[in-house]
Structure 1
Amino acid sequence: MSINATYTSLVAVGDSFTEGMSDQLPDGSYRGWADLLAARLATRAPGFRYANLAVRGKLIEQIVREQVGPAAKMGADVVTLVGGLNDTLRPKCDMGRVRGLLEEAVETLAPSCKQLVLMRSPGRQGPVFDRFRPRMEALFACIDELAARHGALVIDLYGSAALGDQRMWGVDRLHL
């Protein structure tokens, strides 16, 4: 995303990836990618406003029910939405339901902001993740389709070669 000096606010919604889990500071607080993006945008816009509504462990239904409405009401210039991956890791994941909820989220958030940003979460290698890869790819196809339909920006971390480096990951091997 190019930094636009006219962006005066950012709202981030999602799960642990957006909350910043595994990016722990010495004082025990977390500072994730959304916090870093907000700090960078704030240097260019006096009075910048930022809210990170993301909470670890949330499934897409919880994100939609608890975070999307409040985020849309904030009228931020930029809204980020990262969700659905926790759902894909569950044994009884209903991808049709995940897709419908993601669509609901995007249809609510896109008209509420100048720029909606969606993300293809980073992928991992190995037998456990290989088992879930078809669901992850279905999720990312849905994200791409919704972004194209609603003019959202997609950040593709799934295809990032740099994130294949084991040193980039937390001890749980789920978070960066």
Structure 2
Amino acid sequence: MKYVETTARPGQAASGIPDVDVTLHVNGDVCRLRIDSRVTLLDALRDHLGLTGAKKGCDQGACGACTILVEGKRIVACLALAAQYEGQEITTIEGLSDNDEPHPMQAAFARHDAFQCGYCTPGQIMSAVSLMAEGRARSDEDVCEFMSGNICRCGAYPNIRAAIREVASEGNDASL
């Protein structure tokens, strides 16, 4: 476990809004930040911690590009304030692999070419990992329903479903 501390506030002017001290547990690291209280979890991860895997898509919670796991459950990080997640275990796509070995879902996505442009891929993978942990990958219909919060503009949905089916059928522990 490493400690990361930052007081930088990139791109923000003095706003009169008080800063808050926040300790986030991200991918096994303890990260102490001093940030504007309005900073989203997505912006804290990307702008303050340099973890750019979660993408900023719609910035309205509709596309799923920013999906991460908090305490093993998926959330869209663009709608969450960083200060709300103090002390909770946060996992991003960067923290999903184990000792440089890809997570079974990451490997299945690669085998099935379940990405085209790749922009949505981190959010899709994080949702798929959560879907498996929730036990909701019983059928293609279930996968479609429970992955519906993640949009792929390239249309790689059949390959995404194939990757999820593979991991589900192998009985891999695709959770964290």
| TM-score normalised per structure 1 | 0.28
Rg: which structure is higher? 2
| TM-score normalised per structure 2 | 0.28
